[in-house]
Amino acid sequence: MKPAVLVTKRIYPSAIDYLSGRTDLDYHESDHSMPAGELLERLRGKQGAVGQLTDKFDAEVISALPDLKVISNVAVGFDNIDVAAATERGIAVTNTPEVLTDTTADFAFTLLMAAARRLVEADNFLRAGKWSQWRINLLCGADIHHATLGIVGMGRIGQSLARRGLGFEMRVLYSDVQRAAPDIERELRLQYVPFETVLKESDFISLHVPLLPATRGLIGAAQLAMMKNSAILINTSRGPVVDEPALAEALAAGEIAGAGLDVFEREPEVEPRLLEMQNVVLAPHIASASVATRTKMCLMAAENCVAALAGERPPNLVNTSLFDN
């Protein structure tokens, strides 16, 4: 008998094809998340779940699903899953790292460039019919080349962003709880400095940390006050890493010059004041949204799920202690 698997939301067809031949598949083919009660009911009796970051697998949900063997997240992050509760019940938790690294770094640098050069503001200006003639000071922004790029979190995506900074001959500072290997620092010409130094000296600050208790609210009023008045903040990590009301206050007061945000504290809600500001570039959590990358993410999640259900160590296991013995 094939193991029963629920796919909680629409994913790319190649992953469905992969699962269909190997599992008894229940596919919620919709772009809308199921309400919590419906999700729980659909998961009863299932051995596997292929979910997304909008699906909450907290301790209460996990405890109500005694048959569940694997939660396969179509994301690199897994803050929507209580990993400790899953581990306690022997449930494998998997994610989709590496495959989205370059795509996400591309988008972080896109936000940086768009905010620095006031691209969205310029597009709106032109479309509104306000452009009457060339002017010496029309929509002047900030240079990117030779500026200082500060990266908070030097994991895969942080390193990939640093490589892009090198192409613009940027000085790259970084902070992290763990220092990068010496060969990485040499290759990317990185300067490892305290977090406060990144805040104080960077022209652009890009966040690449997981959402953990220690990183929730990492950027608040005190940190924003340390930044240059000309600084631009970029966030493609997780929304709650930044205190949005504090960011809006800092932007309104001119404490920093701008921001580029792909993630938000209470998605899909956005701090209303940010929506009214011209110096903020906003995107609906699409940093990894290329067709090729999202297809690979879905297929990777499907492969993780099938491997776990076969009793094998999944290629991208989060709670590695399950297979350490």
Residues assigned a catalytic role: 238, 267, 285
Q: Residue 126 — φ and ψ, nearest 5°?
A: -65, -45
Q: What is the C-alpha separation between 127 and 123, in angstroms, rounded? A: 6
Q: What is the C-alpha separation between 63 and 65, in angstroms, rounded? A: 6
- Give residue 288's identity as a one-letter amino acid code: S
Q: What is the C-alpha separation between 167 and 170, in angstroms, rounded? A: 8
- Token pair, residue 38, equals 């419906």
For the sheet with 204-207, list strands across it: 190-192, 171-175, 148-152, 204-207, 232-235, 258-261, 280-282
Which residue, 236, 275, 273, 231, is CA-closest to 254? Answer: 231
Which residue, 203, 161, 155, 156, is CA-closest to 177? Answer: 155
Q: What is the C-alpha separation between 7 and 86, in angstroms, rounded? A: 18
Assign 3-class secondary structure to 31-69: CCCCCHHHHHHHHCCCCEEEECCCCCECHHHHHCCCCCC
Determine the length of the chain.
325
The CA angle 105-293-80, to the nearest 5 degrees, is 80
Q: Is 311 helix (H, G, I), strand (E, B) or coil?
A: coil
For the sheet with 24-27, list strands across it: 24-27, 4-7, 48-51, 70-73, 92-94
Which residue, 282, 267, 253, is CA-closest to 77? Answer: 267
